[in-house]
Amino acid sequence: MLEGDSFQKFLLDECHIRGEIVRLSKSFQEVTANKDYPQIPRALLAQATCASVLMTGTLKFEGRLAVHARGEGPVSLLMAEATDQKSFRSIVHYEDALPDSNDLGDLLGKAQLAITIEPDKGQRYQGIVPLERSTLAECLAHYFDLSEQLDTHFMFASDDEYCYGLMLQKLPDYKYIDDQDAWDRVRQLAETLSFEEVKQNDNATILHRLYHEESVQVYESEPVRFECTCSEERSLNSLYSLGKDEALSILDEEPVIGIDCQFCGAHYEFDRERVNELFNVGKPH
């Protein structure tokens, strides 16, 4: 059976290489619904979304991981966030005048890639690498090379209805095995996989086709879903960060302050009574 919105781990145990596959269909369509993204930013958003879900496979705790790039080019913001429970949200901001190029340098200009790991309990961590590679896959591999000193390989592909990502990574004890050609062999075999094969075959069939001469352990598939984490409370926190004077000045011009979630389109409104309550206006100290 062909997997829909799913995440699945596998292990090439004798090669000491781990892998993951993510497939997104309906869940990614929910992200792009009513947004009319052009092909280039849509494809970039699909890559970042798949990457964030894949990278949650490395989490050893409950929490979330975000892939975030802010640049000075025609694509000004690229952000995808996923949780250990495989829920995600993502967004891309871009100008109307886009270059006919998939090169990150042409799209984002001078930019940095930030990977933020936020445990539900514990300290937040952020790693930053410059976007000096031409693709997001190469930039992410560079991040793992710098942060964990582990060779990692990413592959992404998408169309209007479907997107997928594949991640391969050496285990820390890879350097001790006799078969030091395993990494190049496994990576090169993965590169032979076409997007059409992915759309037409399930993970078990694909992995057998690629690695039938290797020992492969395939783990249980996990469902993936789009889920926005916006809320009235988080909107109030954003309003609080704006400051009392600025918030009240807006209410001098408008009857309510409206806040729209850019991820899911939810709309929150706060009137003067609610804003006064937020800033303790008129209450004795």
Buried b (16+ CB within 10 A) or exposed e, 158-186: beeebbbbbbbbbbeebeeeeeeebbebb
222 class by beta-carbon count within 10 Å (0-12 exposed, 13-18 middle, 19+ buried): middle
Predicted pLDDT of residue 283? 58
Predicted pLDDT of residue 17? 98
| Residues facing 129 on adjacent strands | 113
Whether residue 172 has pLDDT greater than 80: yes
pTM of the model: 0.85
Predicted pLDDT of residue 168? 98
Query: Could you report the per-residue pLDDT of 100-117, keeping only the tens digit for each?
Result: 999 999 999 989 999 999
Query: Could you report the per-residue pLDDT of 17-32, keeping only the tens digit for each?
Result: 999 999 999 999 999 8
Strands 87-94 and 17-24: unpaired
User: Please, which pLDDT band fits residue 53 given cuts at 50, 70 and 90?
Assistant: very high
Whether residue 162 has pLDDT greater than 90: yes
- Domains of the chain listed by start with CATH number: 6-226 (3.55.30.10), 232-278 (3.90.1280.10)
Mean pLDDT of 127-144: 92
Average pLDDT, the chain: 92
The 3-state DSSP class for residue 264 equals coil
More confident residue, 34 or 273: 273
Q: Please give the Cα distance from 67 to 113 (Å, whole number).
A: 7
